[in-house]
Structure 1
């Protein structure tokens, strides 16, 4: 099966600036009403004013866009879905068209190493034209980004309050971009220094974590230098104010996400270390080459920070080396040997090395490219994640955080039943959950080939798959009347590789059976992440 479209099909300009109705088939449940945003590149090639073609080399460097699905229901509870999309890289496009180049820091593009790199360190991250190309994660009503209480400001869509005041897109840097919630037009850039003056480092996690009760957000900021400093910070949803929970030195690394429990923030510095205390980013001018080769002798380091009682860094752990893009969840439970002590269980999609970072160059994933054939055999298997859980024992013990304790591997699932772009029922964030959902790669195409539901108790799996159809990240929408964890639906945008058209798929989260779909008139380029704001849900999920 070959579901990744050919080069012509992938580099589509299917941009839809005004809302269009989609054809709905089946039955989407009324509790799915709301707005679904999706991020990701919309094309990766630009024709310059001189008639030449500029192309991004890495999937993460494609032309950032935001997609918006509005799900409404009529008086007969029949779903009505509209769609619009917009590239949000106006200045970026203008410069490339005019100059035929973009001399900026990217994720994977190669650069001319003869140029001086000891200049304008922070400006390269927050004020250059490269800062236009932001679009990895999307946050609805982000604290510190202009969010106000609903009674003070309300956005109306189709005459109904959907509770969406602000939308921001983010990447693995200290910058974020505000966009209009309806038109998707870019409205401005800001850095984390706006939140707090000490957040002056260039790196951060694209996936901040949100408290499911308060809506407060937690993230890190990494400051490069002779001694690199991690700062764990918190921004209040009620006040918009930011405070630093802990600051500590550590080996700099590319870190896409972190963990949150009811009491703690957990930052794992896994083995994607940045060379030369961060200077390599300026020298290489891309993240891929700035990362040191995977070293199996270097441990992954886990830092546990108290977020409730002002205790700062409370414990440190180490485990065998690995790499990770996405964490799933984390929760606390009493230690088996001492109920007065607390353990943390952390769940993530774990890689054995850094091969997956290199796999996502366009040449390696477009099915019509000869290079993609290299990733069809054994080399491809090294790029697959394992669904994994670790235990951090006695985080509130009397051991100094300067002493590293062992992180216990609870289980590491088979790669062919594991997932990427993982999600859970948002009601179970920061507490023990049973089911995890995500996209799966079982080597049946040049990209993702199905959706999976993984039972963390029995390690049993259920799959949704259709030959030639490639799904994106699933988003869990809980049934408000449900009593079980898997009462709800999954929303995923799927590409029909044969028809070269996409559709919004709605699956029953219990058995992954199809409930309905909303069909588009063309292909929607493969994206990264999304966020769904159901009517009536206040908080939940990564942001």
Structure 2
């Protein structure tokens, strides 16, 4: 097994409110809770899940105050996790694992149903609710203090749809949440919606776009005036989902001749202004987007193709298979001229990107934070943290031999601390796996210098996760 393979092993321990030993010094102003989400159970009985994205959801809580750190972790309680943890069996279809549902069963569960909920991707706020998200449009609420599962959030609407993103955006003008769902049918369509920030679970349709073969899009772009769906050429015939007998993602096909389509929708009216074509690529994550003088600028962590999905099968990861690298890439989209151009922002690889979201989401920005691979090597896992200046392409790096950091979460310093108004005035928090000691720690970096401030030692190894948020 590869030395980072510990990040793909199941975690049995659930820990409640344990104070962690801290070395170094955390900023006095840092007070709040870092919540992290990700897969932590990769098998049931004698059967293993097939893909990293299939592992059962566990939330990790780091409560920080007065330089102290308290840690709790807990599995989310869903039908899927109950089957795995209590019954020792896989009962529901995941991203790339299917417990052999029959063709007869598929025929009588057509497009009206979504994949069962395993909310292992992200965490968001719906008003006063804190929810865990995945690509099924059924968020799961949990208590941010105890991590106890409250239950599935049922939307009070008829929007429908079977596939969404776990990356809703906050509208940079109104503060409402914006997202989209894909509705699979004979006449499939993308449905972009708004969810008011009053916390009510009601979605309002903003606009729709019909499509014959929907694409797999893990995230999307928003600016002050537009929503942009970046439709990569990884697409599916909806009837293949119904009839093939294969797991969800294995029904999609890579069709580079389609190029990448940019569906530009007015954020207020829902009118599709333009559908433009650029070079074929694939991405899970958008970094940020904004507009200036009629042009839209969309920054992505771009891959040449969709082979990264194959590379994230667990057998491949544990065996040390080659890991394709994402390149931070800027697409300039001009709806009036009908043109799309692309340029690389840096030679460093970048994934799981974060920005100073509250200040710069949907606006011009300077800094992005993410994970990457040293020297873009494909024979190791993501082993360094990266701060990227998107203006000049320069980078600052943090790395430590045998250590594998997760997504860096930027926390803005409150007013009165540090450099007033500077975009990188704050700290970066990341959970790091240390292979030599089979343990993990919470790392705090000064966001400006990218130098270590402190670390808090976790009593076990934390499996590699995906996304999280810091709540004050």
TM-score, normalising length: structure 1: 0.80
- 1:96–1:518 CA distance, 2 compared to 1 (3 A): closer
* CA drift at 1:54: 2.5
Q: Is residue 321 of structure 2 the alignment partner of residue 360 of structure 1? A: no
2:131 aligned residue: 168
Shift of 1:355: 0.8
Q: 1:137–1:206: 8 Å Cα contact kept in structure 2?
A: yes
| Paired position in structure 1 for 2:255 | 295
Describe how 1:64-79 pairs up with structure 2 within 5 A. Answer: 64-73=57-66, 79=67
**Equivalent residues of 2:80, 2:92 under 8 A apart:** no
**CA-to-partner distance for each residue in 1:460-489, whole Å, 9 max, x for gaps?**
111100010110000001123333211111
Spell out, residue by residue over 1:243-289, the C-alpha distance to the aligned partner (whole angstroms, 9 max, x if none). Answer: 21111212312111011111111111112212x22542663452321
> TM-score when scaled to structure 2?
0.92
Superposed displacement of residue 4, structure 1: 0.5
**Unpaired stretches in structure 1, ≥5 consecutive residues:** 48-52, 74-78, 148-164, 335-341, 400-404, 535-543
- Other structure's SS at 2:144 match: coil
Deviation at 1:43, TM superposition (A): 2.5
Among 19, 22, 27, the residue aligned to 1:21: 19
The corresponding residue for 1:328 is 287
Structure 1 residue 239 displacement after superposition: 6.9
Secondary structure, counterpart of 1:327 in structure 2: strand
Q: Distance in 1 between matches of 2:243 and 2:328?
A: 34
Partner of 2:225: 263
Q: What is aligned with 1:422?
A: 353
Q: Higher mean Cα deviation, 100-109 or 462-471?
A: 100-109
Match of 1:200 in 2: 160
1:307 is matched with 267
Deviation at 1:494, TM superposition (A): 0.4
CA shift, 1:307, in A, is 1.7
Give the superposition deviation at 1:362. Answer: 1.3
Q: 1:179 to 1:123 in 2, by over 3 A?
A: farther
Q: Does residue 518 in structure 1 map to residue 456 in structure 2?
A: yes
The structure having more radius of gyration, on CA atoms, is 1
Matches within 5 A, 1:281-292: 283-292=244-253
The structure with the largest strand share of the pair is 2
Structure 2 contact 22–457 (Cα < 8 Å) conserved: yes
Residue 273 (structure 1) aligns with = 235
CA distance in 2, matches of 1:213, 1:111: 44
TM-fit CA distance, 1:112: 3.6
Deviations 1:419-475 (A, max 9, x none): 000011121111111111100023276311110111111111111000101100000
User: Which of 35, 38, 52 is the aligned partner of 1:37?
Assistant: 35
Task: State the partner residue of 2:381.
Answer: 447
Residue 435 (str. 1) matches residue 404 (str. 2): no
Q: Which has the higher contact order (CA 8 A, sep 6+)?
A: 1
Question: Is the contact made by 1:331 and 1:344 (CA closer than 8 Å) also made in structure 2?
Answer: yes
Aligned partners of 2:6 and 2:461 also within 8 Å: no
1:39–1:67 contact (8 Å) kept in structure 2: yes
1:151 is aligned to: none
**8 Å contact 1:268–1:302 — kept in the other structure?**
yes
Counterpart of 1:297 in 2: which secondary structure?
helix
Q: In the superposition, relative to structure 1, how do residues 207 and 31 fare at CA in structure 2: closer, same or farther (>3 Å)?
A: same
Q: Give the match's secondary structure for 1:363.
A: helix
Correspondence list, 1:128-147, <5 A: 130-131=116-117, 133-140=118-125, 142=126, 147=127
Q: Point out where structure 2 has 5 or more consecutive residues left out of the alignment.
A: none
Cα displacement (A) at 1:90: 4.9
Q: 1:239 to 1:526 in 2, by over 3 A?
A: closer
Change (3 A) 1:524 1:392: same
Matches of 2:193 and 2:99 in 1, distance apart? 33
Q: Size of the alignment, in residue pairs?
A: 462
Contact kept? 1:66, 1:88, Cα under 8 Å: yes
CA 472–514 in structure 1, closer or farther in 2 if over 3 Å, else same: same
Cα deviation, 1:325-383, whole Å, max 9, x if unaligned, reads: 0001101111xxxxxxx1110001011111100111111222xx3xx2x42xxxx3xx2
Q: Which residue of 2 aligns with 1:161?
A: none
Report the Cα distance in structure 2 between the residues aligned to 1:98 and 1:15, rounded to whole angstroms. Answer: 15
CA distance in structure 1 between the aligned counterparts of 2:30 and 2:242, rounded to whole angstroms:
42
Distance 2:363 2:27 in 1: 27
C-alpha distance in 1 between matches for 2:245 and 2:422: 50
Aligned to 1:119: 108
Match of 1:107 among 88, 95, 105: 95
Structure 2 CA distance for aligned equivalents of residues 289 and 196 of structure 1: 31
1:54 to 2:47 alignment: yes
